[in-house]
Amino acid sequence: MIFLELVLQNFGPYAGRQVINLNPRIDEDNHRPIILLGGMNGGGKTTLMDAIRLALYGPRAQCSTRGNLSYSDFLTQCVNSKANPIEKTRIELVFEHIEDDKPIQYRIVRTWEKNPKDGKDSLGILGEDETWPDSLANIWDEYIENILPLGISNLFLFDGEQVKELAEQETPPPIVVDAINALLGLELADKLAIDLEILINRKKKENADSQDLAKLEEIESRLAKQQETYDDLTNQLESLNNELTELKTKSDDALNKFISEGGKIASERSQLDNQKEEKTKIIENTRKSLCDLAADVLPLALIPNLLSQVQHQVEKEFRTQQMQLAKDVLIARDQRLINWLNTLDIELEKLTNIQYFLAEDIEKLYTANSSKEITWLNADEESLTLLDNLMYRLKTCQNTAQKQLLELSNYQEEMFRLERQMQTAATPEEYTKLKNTMEIWRNRHSKMQSKVELHKQNLQELEIKINQTKKELNSYTVANLKHESNEHLINAATEVQNTLKIFRERLTLRKLNKLEDEVKNCFLYLLHKSDLVYRIAIDEKTFRLSLYDFNGKPVAKHRLSAGEKQLLAIAFLWGLAKVSGKRLPVAIDTPLGRLDSSHRNNLVERYFPSASHQVILLSTDTEIGQKEYQNLTETEAIARQYLLKYHPGKRETTIQDGYFWQ
């Protein structure tokens, strides 16, 4: 069997239609086993594994996120959150297997809508001739059991957590034990033994005397009535579940109507009134603050040009005053200089020239730096300082006023939205009506839910009684019925049962001996350490693994490292696949788990390329990192590679060609 293609449409995080080619054959002469899909945690790797299981097994699929959900609820959960309501969710899986010594392909197509009315999906099987043979879809569960039985699927489609659980437990869990029995063909002997037991009891009933037969018929009649009651209760429970679904819908509709028609806002009226009162106070305070600003220097902002002219005039007059003071100082200095020169023996003409030069120089300096404009403010230094302070205060008031005006606008907008919201609130009469309607449907839904739970409890109690009656019937048949006829058949059947028991024991031993050798060889091959284990023994009932060294002494499992335990679990699964003789694909989610680098390299180099003819790996960048990826690339083990690109903003995953480092 080979998976060839997986198509997802609006499934989980995969929006729209996305196609993954899983064919390990690159061309007729080139076959590489590994299909590598990389993605970060939460990016949709496990969803791909669930899609394969869901396509193959439908309602019977053991998907990771289903839990206790009904199949209808699980299908609804799988619909992409942003999918167009008119578009259906779709999964297609194309696979090839050998039938009558010839390869044949089938395309499994499952489609459904959100909240499917009939609680299930629509299944179609498309053959190679592009037709839909309805007969195959009708018997699909039986058909797929002959190719990849559900019981053994977890041994071929598994994840790292399953390997971790198998590695840490002393004995395999029941689901693995059942799968092993199915894989090794041991369940056939058990089924034949049960069929023989039924045949013996039937013959014993035919040979019972009248008294025993009457007692037997009384037990059977009681069992039939109990079974009839059980069937009636089951039908009633189904009807109640339908009513519960309808009541849930009506309860939700009443709640939505309560919200949409203003009931919720009406219930929050007091809170909205408080918000309105608080906003009103804030608006009033802001307006008062603006009035205070207007009562100060803010009105001067209306005459910015006049203020600028005054400031300019004050500065000019102040400079004129400074020049006059400087002139007086220079004149006084020049006079002192002349007086001193008079005491010297200098010619009168030269002294006169000096005096003329000094007077003319002062006049030139004063004329060049003084203004001829009229002085009308008589401003001094104090006036200039006061005017500068006034301009600074005016600028500060303007900025504060602009900020408060913006805040006032925002508060008024919030008040408008709040009042508009309050206007949509239902009137007291409408609120009471909406609330009563919502509570009526909610109470009806709650009562119906309790009724359903009570029916479930009654069914469980009745099921216990039915099992007790069946046990009584079986005990009575074995202990009291006498064999008067067909004794040879009954004795022969008993002998066959004994022979079958011996046959099963010998078959189990023969299968387990072969499995022990395969598991040991696989483990040593993966471990790359030939001196750790000489022999591996498998218990015929529990399938518990026991390890022995070269001296025949047990090797305690706790002596193995965590990585060695995981390799042992993988070797166990690998050995089972080999002994079964089934050529099935292997799909592994989070394959390397917590393995250290040494064991990781062994798994990459030795297990992945050899696990099967098709190995689908779903890995993060820390599991199959750059080194492991390069190793698989160099050995030409990878046929195709994809990257699951998750977009957090859209909460969607797209499938791209390549890997993290390509």
Question: Quick one: pLDDT at residue 656?
Answer: 92
The confidence band for 7, taking pLDDT boundaries of 50, 70 and 90, is very high
Helix/strand/coil (H, E, C) string of 286-330? HHHHHHHHHCCCHHHHHCHHHHHHHHHHHHHHHHHHHHHHHHHHH
CA–CA dist 574, 478 (Å, integer):
43
pLDDT tens-digit readout, 537-562:
888 778 788 888 888 888 887 777 77
Question: Quick one: pLDDT at residue 483?
Answer: 45
pLDDT at 210 over 60: no
The confidence band for 655, taking pLDDT boundaries of 50, 70 and 90, is very high
pLDDT at 307 over 60: yes
CA–CA dist 226, 219 (Å, integer):
10
Q: Which of 609, 620, 624 is nearest to 646 (CA)?
A: 620
**Mean pLDDT for the stretch of residues 589-612:** 78
pLDDT at 657 over 90: yes
Instruction: Read off the pTM.
Output: 0.54
The answer to whether 105 and 129 have CB atoms below 8 angstroms apart is no
**Mean pLDDT for the stretch of residues 650-657:** 91
pLDDT at 653 over 80: yes
Give, as one character, the DSSP assignment of residue 592: S
**Mean pLDDT for the stretch of residues 3-28:** 92
CA–CA dist 90, 113 (Å, integer):
9
400 or 599, greater pLDDT: 400
**Mean pLDDT for the stretch of residues 274-296:** 86
pLDDT tens-digit readout, 457-498:
998 998 898 888 888 877 766 545 444 445 556 666 666 667
281 or 426, greater pLDDT: 281
**Mean pLDDT for the stretch of residues 630-654:** 90
pLDDT at 428 over 70: yes
pLDDT tens-digit readout, 38-91:
998 888 888 999 999 999 999 989 888 888 888 888 998 999 988 887 889 999
The confidence band for 519, taking pLDDT boundaries of 50, 70 and 90, is confident
pLDDT at 264 over 80: no
Question: Quick one: pLDDT at residue 484?
Answer: 44
Question: Quick one: pLDDT at residue 344?
Answer: 81
pLDDT tens-digit readout, 121-142:
888 888 876 666 667 888 898 8
247 or 542, greater pLDDT: 247
How much of the chain exceeds pLDDT 70, in percent?
A: 84
pLDDT at 36 over 90: yes
96 or 167, greater pLDDT: 96
The confidence band for 370, taking pLDDT boundaries of 50, 70 and 90, is low
Helix/strand/coil (H, E, C) string of 12-42? CCEEEEEEEECCCEEECCEECCEEEEEECCC
